[in-house]
Structure 1
Amino acid sequence: MTGTNKVILRLVLLLVIIGAITAFYILDLGQYLSLAELREQQQALAAYRQENFLQLFLICFAVYVTVTALSLPGATIMTLSVGAIFGFGWGLVIASFASTLGATLAFLIARFFLHDWVQNKFSDRLKKFNERFQKDGPFYLLTLRLVPLFPFFVVNLAMSLTKIKAFTFYWVSQLGMLAGTAVYVNAGTQLASIESTADIFSTRLLLSFTLLGTFPLIAKAILSVLENRRALKGWQKPKNFDRNLVVIGAGSAGLVSAYIAAATKAKVTLVEANAMGGDCLNTGCVPSKALINVARQVKQRNTAGMGLPAVATEVNFPEVMAHVQQVIKNIEPHDSVERYTELGVDVVAGYARIISPWEVEIDTDSGKQTLTTKAIIVATGGKPLVPNIPGIDQVNVLTSDSLWAVQQLPKRLLVMGGGPIGCELAQAFQQLGSAVTQVEMSERLLAKEDTEVSELLAEHMLAEGIDLRLQHRVVGFTGTQSEGTAQLEILDHDGEVVGKDEVSFDAVLVAVGRKANLTGFGLEELGIETTQILPSNEFMQTSVPTIYAAGDVTGPYQFTHTASHQAWYASVNALFSPLKRFKADYRVIPWATFTQPEIATVGMNEQMARAAGIDYEVTRYGIDDLDRAIADNQAYGFVKVLTKPGKDSILGVTIAGPKAGDLIAEFVLAMKYNLGLNKILGTIHIYPTMSEANKYVAGNWRRANAPEGALRWVERFHTWRRG
């Protein structure tokens, strides 16, 4: 059906419905759906039934369906009527099927008019709700139908806005309304004793139905318990436990998990086979940002401007790497064994292996020990992915893990990968003095960001001298550990090979992604599914309910801050389930890439919104116009905000420019607590600071959405005041 035809059909149907409802009230048809009228006509209708049973049956059925479908008052009297006229058996058949059919028609009518509009307008907020309702919708509907306190026409309308299937709505409604319908039909057979419809339900009966309405939820809880028991079947549960929680891995997720357990006075053991702090401290965020800081200072010294001459700076690379290691050592105490021991965590250096849903075997230098525990959190992180390319084992391959042991600056560095890690390190090594060639298979860098962000970054990297090879793929290596050559294939827009090339290098940095650390922890032996990640549900539980996961090992985000975020949910749920559980909340997740320009994003960018079919408006502010950026000689980049059409509600923000990772925090707070751009515009920002960019982009939105009609009246008011 075309859009025009759909609009016409909606208009015609709306006119028919309005006409029917108008006729109902103008003709005062409601007078025939009253308790007094039913009493007066009961004997006549009973006599008519004796002569014309089928005809009266069909008439009652049709009227009942119409009244229910149009949500007209009188459904209760109709239920009493069929009981009074046809008796309990046939009356229940008419009332049950007619009410359900009418409710389904009301559901379909409301869905036809409202469903698409609601789903499109609130798609971002309804995404999680739709996913949950897809799974548990019938339980919720059955609960509402079993409790007479909920008006059924409201239930029909509410359900029409969800994605529940019409057939599911029908059969659940048929089942859920049966008990209440039976009460009314039975009351109809005793019509003489009823003074008002309030006499039908006593307080005790209402309470009984309310309790009955909780049955689906109780059943769901019972099913959850049974599923857990089935998952744990075949394992002997200990009578007592040594620990409340054992955490495997002392990276960001593991440290936060252990900290929360200790803070809540639980007995917790944290097991780490390598260095405390995990990748972030030892091979990831901390060393890379220390290196980037040195590289930026080198670039500033080598660049003339602002009345300062360029000063050729020769990098002492061993000292640079010593500085990086010193930064790690300075931060180490934050993640040290001593600190966590003082916090109340039992820290064990060793290799952990899960041998049952409640047991962890730890292999230490002094031998093996086995701990029983109520719950386990797997926070084993991830590691760089090294593709199996012919000849790669013969050349000098570096990863974000092994890079930090290098003591000689590669004269020619080949970087594989155009993601955040590849771009950050490619730019840093170019600034430090390496001749960098960066190879990326796709058409642009940072494929998850908007195209204009990728183009701005590529422009800066090319200007710095990086040999950027987009739409190139490494297919082989030749050479030795001291010098090598990479064979490349050149790709077109469809990924087809259109040519060949080669690049010589002294070292190759592989930054094409990461993979979860899944093996060696006993997961396979327990039958836990492990593919590319360790799957977990919204409570961070794996398929074995006593075992939880957090951080890079489970995804979907591979950021230190999201690992900490997940750790809160994993630890609290592990410690307090089933008394209290929390679903992990991923609604507002920010991330940043620490290149020049720095790039930060929260929520949706344009390509995400288009892929999700979400309508949006874009408001921009160019940082090249910002006073502080001009004063700091960093006048480049932009702030881009996506909002709901005509509203200041923020869907997402992308900032590309200096201090983007710091500037994004204001928008993260705004999105978390549903503050719009008007609130940001009304907040005082210090002058001159970079943070004013956030206020100015809000001001641009306000000007673009100025109430022109109201302003014309204000203009007339001012004209009048001038006389």
Structure 2
Amino acid sequence: MTRSRLLLLGLVAALIALYYLSGADEALSLANLQAEQARFQAWFGERPLAVGGGFFLAYVAMAGLSLPGATLMTVLSGALFGFGWGLAIVSFASAQGATLAALIARTLLRGTLERRFAAQLERINAGIRREGAFYLFTLRLIPLFPFFVINLVMGLTRMRLTTFYWVSQLGMLPGTAVFVNAGRELGHLESLAGILSPGLIASFALIGLFPWLARGLVALARRRRLARRYGRPTRFDHDIVVIGGGSAGLVASYIAAAVKARVALVERERLGGDCLNTGCVPSKALIRAGRAAQEVRRAGGYGIEAGEPRVDFAAVMDHVRRAIDEIAPHDSRERYEGLGVEVHAGEAILEDPWRVRITGPDGERRLTTRHVIIASGASPAVPPLPGLEAVEVLTSDTLWRLETLPERLLVLGGGPIGCELGQAFARLGSRVALVEMGAQLLPREDAEIADQVARRLATEGVALHLGTRALRVVGDEAGGHALEVEHHDGAGEARRERLPFSHLLVAVGRRANVAGMGLEALGVETRDDGTLAVNESLQSVLPNVWACGDVAGPYQLTHAAAHQAWHATVNALFGELKRFRVSYRALPAVTFTDPEVARVGLNEREARERGVAYEVTRYPLAELDRAIAEGTAEGVVKVLTVPGRDRILGATIVGEGAGEMLAEFTLAMTHGIGLNKLLGTVHPYPTRSEAVKAAAGAWKNAHKPERLLGWLERYFAWRRSGAWRRGDARRER
């Protein structure tokens, strides 16, 4: 740190210390200043510039040093100076103090504040990139963060200080007026009866209503800016147009139609999206077929000899297609049109925020709509590997066209999709190799959880290549293809080898479908991972354009898409009255390997990354009677709680039926139920759900009151000794 910065740091520290050591933090109270109000106002009458200037400088210093009490001083200014003078003094002092705080942060504390306020800084920088000074104006008008945080974080942005000053001056003016007026009313308070005066009640009611009113004014200003830019229609055909007929789009359309909004749904391919046609439904049908084959192999362990199963892969794929066909009516055009949804087949393009052009089999048409919900989903990501163009690449979308069982299947990617499908094909008879660049499978899970899945896959014949990087696709000696990979041996030396395959399944993630809808031309931004940039209410930079599901992220799960769809639809239709922020705190997720991995909330890896204090309770399924009886005792229930308390931070289960057991923990986290209440709930015997109660019991046992138990031990020993009977006999005599 340079000498000038050290001097500035010393000056700031000295001023902060002086503030507290002088007792100024205690003297600045309404009671103290009200007691001196008459004398103070006399001074102000005699020397207005000196007294007002002193208050002005004190306010600038407090705001500039980010000291607590700026809101109180705003109220006090009204009590001491009245509304006019108070507003003038505080309005300029607050803006100048905020600018000073931003300058100090920019000069002195850049690194520290970037680390401490990383999330806020990213959101503010994104807002500035989208809307410039108008974004700062909305932050001032509707304080999502405390003003001192905005001051400090803004010091780290590239916004010019002159712009920061005048925007702050204007943005804080309405709120300042509300608080100064409240202080003026308090300054006139002479008795407790005055608390009920209409003026004071109105002032504090205005403080409560101001954020709501300001939010409405900002929304109105944004709508007018858009209207001037694009030409807003005078009337609309629809309340909502939903683009995408997958899980998110269908739920959004259903909700909108249920509340009698006029809604149009546009889908370019098949209704039901990935979940019905290429994802959840077919994969679970295939996984079930693989499990059936494995159950035949394991039957000998129960005294039933069945031998190696004969797999008819064509019949397996017929089973998969039947599952899709039987569920398809739930997502059909006929059903949704019966619910009141106007369904269109074709490509949708936003010409502006209110006009959607649809090009399909029936030609071209335009719809006008008050709101648009983007629910266009995601597609499998294919890495740019050299030589990949020479082979037919399978993905979770194209896999279902297979007619014959792959002889040698190479799976690239060790996430949930790669593990689920790799195990299923191995059970059906393919020779499977799985390549994962990371050190473990299921990289979002704790290592001990992922290791249990890895051990099972290896036992069932899946060749695991962890910590292995794919380099290129090459030809092999037999005229087929191989994947050249690189890994490091025990000595840290890089080693290369070639893994031959007949089929290559790429499962390295999915990319949001954002192209071709006109979003880029309208300024709707994407994040680094390719998903649409939306706020906590799922609103894009365009106030009437929303997004949900895989295209919005961060979780590519069917139930997450439905969860988001409710928020996006309700916020679009009723957001002028009430906005709902989407929460993922109790969002469950299941990996359908065998054993299953199910999780809700935090695991240890995430808790450490976020700096969340926790304690862990484990219950091994090897102690669960139902699991022992069925020979499926592999696995564990792992619960994270607040240290010393029973409040659940997260739960992870690995084992047979983990996804079904997880529901009780999800319910508990959603409704604030702790482990004590789970322990007090009767569970039927013998069921797997008893593992939840047993985990709660393990936590309780670790927190038993040892001192009380010691006293009880002595009490029962005394009762057993007969001494209490002798005492009773003496009293009777």
TM-score by length of 1: 0.79
For the pair 1:205 / 2:204, whether they are aligned, the reply is no
Cα drift, residue 424 of structure 1: 0.3
* Match among 255, 258, 261 for residue 253 of structure 2: 258
The farther-off stretch of 298-307 and 92-101 is: 92-101
Q: Name 1:555's counterpart in structure 2.
A: 553
Q: Name 2:312's counterpart in structure 1.
A: 316
Q: Is the 8 A contact 1:443 1:493 kept in 2?
A: no
Q: Is the 8 A contact 1:83 1:186 kept in 2?
A: no
Count of residue pairs the alignment pairs up: 629
Q: Name 1:6's counterpart in structure 2.
A: none
**CA distance in structure 2 between the partners assigned to 1:437 and 1:323 by the alignment:** 25
* Match among 332, 344, 352 for residue 340 of structure 2: 344
Change (3 A) 1:68 1:96: farther
Residue 338 of structure 1: SS of its match in structure 2? helix
What one-letter code is carried by the residue in structure 2 that aligns with 1:209?
S
Residue ranges of structure 2 left out of the alignment (5+ in a row)? 1-15, 71-116, 128-134, 155-167, 725-733
Cα drift, residue 529 of structure 1: 2.0
Q: Name 1:364's counterpart in structure 2.
A: 360
1:26-425 to 2 correspondences below 5 Å: 65=24, 67-68=26-27, 73-87=31-45, 89=48, 90-94=50-54, 196=190, 203-207=197-201, 209-210=203-204, 213=207, 214-215=209-210, 218-303=213-298, 304-425=300-421
Q: Is the 8 A contact 2:189 2:195 kept in 1?
A: no
Cα drift, residue 78 of structure 1: 2.8
Q: Is the 8 A contact 1:528 1:542 kept in 2?
A: yes
**CA distance in structure 1 between the partners assigned to 2:573 and 2:689 by the alignment:** 40
Q: Is the 8 A contact 1:415 1:510 kept in 2?
A: yes
Cα drift, residue 80 of structure 1: 3.3
Change (3 A) 1:492 1:565: farther
**CA distance in structure 2 between the partners assigned to 1:332 and 1:542 by the alignment:** 31
Q: Is the 8 A contact 2:411 2:505 kept in 1?
A: yes
For the pair 1:472 / 2:468, whether they are aligned, the reply is yes
What one-letter code is carried by the residue in structure 1 that aligns with 2:646?
D
Change (3 A) 1:369 1:302: same
Cα drift, residue 210 of structure 1: 3.0
What one-letter code is carried by the residue in structure 2 that aligns with 1:248?
I
Cα drift, residue 713 of structure 1: 2.5
Cα drift, residue 203 of structure 1: 2.0
Cα drift, residue 72 of structure 1: 9.4
Q: Name 2:672's counterpart in structure 1.
A: 674
Q: Name 1:483's counterpart in structure 2.
A: 480
For the pair 1:524 / 2:520, whether they are aligned, the reply is yes
Deviation string, structure 1 residues 583-634 (Cα, Å, up to 9, x no partner): 2122211101000110001000001000111111000000011100011110
For the pair 1:616 / 2:574, whether they are aligned, the reply is no
CA-based RMSD of the aligned residues comes to 3.9
Q: Is the 8 A contact 1:92 1:185 kept in 2?
A: no
Cα drift, residue 91 of structure 1: 4.4
Q: Name 1:10's counterpart in structure 2.
A: none
Residue 551 of structure 2: SS of its match in structure 1? coil
**CA distance in structure 2 between the partners assigned to 1:209 and 1:635 by the alignment:** 65
Q: Is the 8 A contact 2:142 2:215 kept in 1?
A: no
Cα drift, residue 98 of structure 1: 5.6
Q: What percentage of aligned pairs have identical amino acids? A: 44
Q: Is the 8 A contact 1:281 1:328 kept in 2?
A: yes
Residue 453 of structure 2: SS of its match in structure 1? helix
Cα drift, residue 186 of structure 1: 12
Cα drift, residue 182 of structure 1: 9.3
Cα drift, residue 535 of structure 1: 1.4
Residue 621 of structure 1: SS of its match in structure 2? strand
**CA distance in structure 2 between the partners assigned to 1:200 and 1:677 by the alignment:** 49
**CA distance in structure 1 between the partners assigned to 2:282 and 2:461 by the alignment:** 24
**CA distance in structure 1 between the partners assigned to 2:232 and 2:421 by the alignment:** 49
Q: Is the 8 A contact 1:91 1:185 kept in 2?
A: no
Q: Is the 8 A contact 1:291 1:428 kept in 2?
A: yes
Change (3 A) 1:335 1:482: farther
What one-letter code is carried by the residue in structure 2 that aligns with 1:575?
L
The farther-off stretch of 568-577 and 84-93 is: 84-93
**CA distance in structure 1 between the partners assigned to 2:260 and 2:306 by the alignment:** 58
Cα drift, residue 312 of structure 1: 1.4
Q: Name 1:537's counterpart in structure 2.
A: 535
Residue 229 of structure 2: SS of its match in structure 1? coil
For the pair 1:631 / 2:590, whether they are aligned, the reply is no
Cα drift, residue 484 of structure 1: 1.2
Cα drift, residue 216 of structure 1: 5.8
**CA distance in structure 2 between the partners assigned to 1:587 and 1:569 by the alignment:** 15
1:495-510 to 2 correspondences below 5 Å: 498-510=494-506
**CA distance in structure 2 between the partners assigned to 1:167 and 1:445 by the alignment:** 38
Cα drift, residue 248 of structure 1: 1.1
Cα drift, residue 185 of structure 1: 9.3
What one-letter code is carried by the residue in structure 1 that aligns with 2:27?
T
**CA distance in structure 1 between the partners assigned to 2:178 and 2:572 by the alignment:** 39
Deviation string, structure 1 residues 390-444 (Cα, Å, up to 9, x no partner): 1111123210000001011011100000000000011001000000010011111
Residue 269 of structure 2: SS of its match in structure 1? coil
The farther-off stretch of 201-210 and 509-518 is: 201-210
Cα drift, residue 492 of structure 1: 6.9
Change (3 A) 1:324 1:362: same
Q: Is the 8 A contact 2:617 2:638 kept in 1?
A: yes
Deviation string, structure 1 residues 484-509 (Cα, Å, up to 9, x no partner): 11111114799x97110101110000
The farther-off stretch of 572-581 and 130-139 is: 130-139
Q: Is the 8 A contact 1:82 1:185 kept in 2?
A: no
Q: Is the 8 A contact 1:472 1:490 kept in 2?
A: yes
* Match among 450, 454, 469 for residue 454 of structure 1: 450
Cα drift, residue 338 of structure 1: 1.3
Deviation string, structure 1 residues 623-663 (Cα, Å, up to 9, x no partner): 01110001111011000000010000000000000111111
Residue ranges of structure 1 left out of the alignment (5+ in a row)? 1-12, 21-61, 109-125, 145-157, 189-193
